[in-house]
Structure 1
Amino acid sequence: MLFCEKQLIGRQSYIYLLTACKNCNASRPICTYCKNIAWPDYKYVFFAKTIPAQKRTILLFPLYICIINSIQMSHSAINRKKNTENIYNIPNFLSAYRILAFPFLIWMIIAGQEKLFVGFLITNLITDILDGFIARRFNMQTQFGARLDSLADVGTMIAAFAGLVIFKTDYFFIHKWGFITFAGLYLLSFLVTFIKFGRICGLHLYSFKTTGYVMGIFFAWIFLSTPPQWYYYLMVCVSCWANIEEIIIFILLKEPKSNAKGLYWVIKSVKKVNRY
């Protein structure tokens, strides 16, 4: 018994048939339920066969994650070989820059280099806007780029909040409950997607793109001057709504999805699927 990625995430398993590839004549396992090609890790699958189905979810949760990750790595390697995605483009390079800048931002915080930190943070925020715009404008959007951008966003967010706590301590503690509420919802969205899909993924909602602009202006403003009180409340409301929307969408989705736009579009697509 083998697992395909879709049925594994759904905590189900189905028998597979071996079929020959038309191009290379190699045998590949095909799911008899959903017809998806499977790329399993056989040692984990063999172990899973010996455990009753009702106990697999609890006992084999770490193994499920390992299998999903190995499937994803295999699919990524296949995509690169077939050149289905051109991952070497400007948006991905900008996202990679933000990831590489993260440890330097943390070092600047530890070293107390506030001016240098602010310069690099603003550069990160600008590149965050640019990579999304270039990807959409010149049709350079890829699954790899979406994951890379999500990872870069997390790093920039962590660095920005760490800098806020260290360099603007008084402001942070005066407004701590707004920041704590946002941070709690932000972490909860990661927890929900990890529990449901076995990995962390980003939806790139319109509300999150708006949040990125609003928070980018806020962080640039607070390190250069002091933003007015109304803008702080606007930032908290917009960012909290984006996280709540993302959590609801993660609950509704049956499989990971990038560029989901928003709750309205997800509900519309779910209704369309249920109709048929």
Structure 2
Amino acid sequence: MLTFKNFNVADWFSFYRILAAPFLLALIWLDLRLIFSWLLLISYSTDAIDGYLARKLKITSPRGSQLDSFGDQITLIVGLIGLYYFETVFITSNLILILVAFAPYIIQMIIAFAKYGKATAFHTYLAKLSAVIQSVFILWSLFFSPEYSLFYIMIVIGLLETFEEIVLIFLYDNWASDVKGIYWAYRDKRRLKKRT
């Protein structure tokens, strides 16, 4: 995944998110909320850019999908750490709901690693929608203050997306990238080929 000499332009945008994570953590440590928020916004923006470039230039690959997913996960974790640090009261007052919503994600990761030896990179429509809502909620909370309607929408969409990922793990015997959703999985030749 980190063989730099084979990186294309979309991969470098994905890698930026991984590279930016320690700097973002340092900004949290230094209590620089505004700078952290703007740089986190840039990291989230690269997620949209790398996907667009990969499709436009037709340079999608399993390595790129895995790198993109890893960059997404790192950015989400850093964003959540920043949200916890800068909005501690909100997080602690909603901790039970957050843990209940986060538990299926941990289960999904455990199942994926047990079956494939790595995280999934299905990149479903629900996953993309969930990532957008998560980033909007985190950035809105950091620039302004937490908005409960966005928070609840994020929780619901996140749970739906996680359950879909779990179903897809059971549908695919082997690791696969860029599956749009359950409906498309049933028509995916990669999955059908493995079943016959």
Q: Which residue of the partner structure matches residue 166 of structure 1?
A: 85
| Correspondences of 1:182-221 after superposition (within 5 Å) | 182-221=101-140
Aligned-residue offset at 1:142:
1.5
Counterpart contact for 2:21–2:74, Cα < 8 Å? yes
2:17 is the counterpart of 1:98: yes
Normalised to the residue count of structure 1, the TM-score between the two structures is: 0.65
1:180 aligns with 2:180: no
Shift of 1:191: 0.4
Q: Is the 8 A contact 1:245 1:263 kept in 2?
A: yes
Pairwise CA distance, 1:163: 0.8
Q: Point out where structure 1 has 5 or more consecutive residues left out of the alignment.
A: 1-72, 81-85
Separation in structure 1 between the aligned mates of residue 167 and residue 85 of structure 2, nearest angstrom: 33
Q: Kindly tell me: are residues 275 and 89 of structure 1, through their superposed partners in 2, closer, same or farther at Cα, counting changes over 3 Å?
A: closer
Give the partner amino acid of 1:210: L
Cα shift at 1:87? 4.0
Q: Distance in 1 between matches of 2:40 and 2:83?
A: 11
Shift of 1:136: 1.4
Cα distance in 2 for partners of 1:223, 1:93 equals 26
Aligned residue for 2:26?
A: 107
Residue 161 of structure 2 corresponds to which residue in structure 1? 242
User: One-letter code of the match for 1:247?
Assistant: I
Structure 2: distance between partners of 1:264 and 1:227:
34
Equivalent residues in 2 for 1:83-162 (5 A)?
87-162=6-81
Q: 1:108 to 1:275 in 2, by over 3 A?
A: closer
Q: 1:267 maps to which residue? A: 186
Question: Which letter maps to 1:208?
Answer: A
Q: Distance in 1 between matches of 2:171 and 2:127?
A: 18
The answer (yes or no) to whether the contact 1:87–1:145 under 8 Å persists in 2 is no
CA distance in 2, matches of 1:124, 1:178: 27
- 169-178 or 205-214, larger mean C-alpha shift: 169-178
Per the TM alignment, residue 258 of structure 1 is displaced from its structure 2 partner at its CA by 0.3
Q: What is the CA deviation profile of residues 42-95 of structure 1, one whole-angstrom value per residue up to 9, with x for unaligned ones? A: xxxxxxxxxxxxxxxxxxxxxxxxxxxxxxx9xx99xx9xxxxx9432211111
Amino acid at match of 2:136: I
What is the 5 A alignment of 1:26-37?
A: none
Residues 122 and 179, structure 2, Cα contact 8 Å, conserved in 1:
yes
Distance (Å, rounded) in 2 between the aligned partners of 1:88 and 1:252: 30
- TM-score (structure 2 length as normaliser): 0.89
SS at match of 2:183: helix
The code of the aligned residue for 2:41 comes to: I
Letter in 2 for 1:104: F
Residue-by-residue CA offset, 1:119-158 (whole Å, 9 max, x unaligned): 1111111111111122112212122111111110111011
Change beyond 3 A, Cα 1:92–1:269: closer
Q: For the Cα contact (< 8 Å) 2:34–2:143, is it kept in 1?
A: no
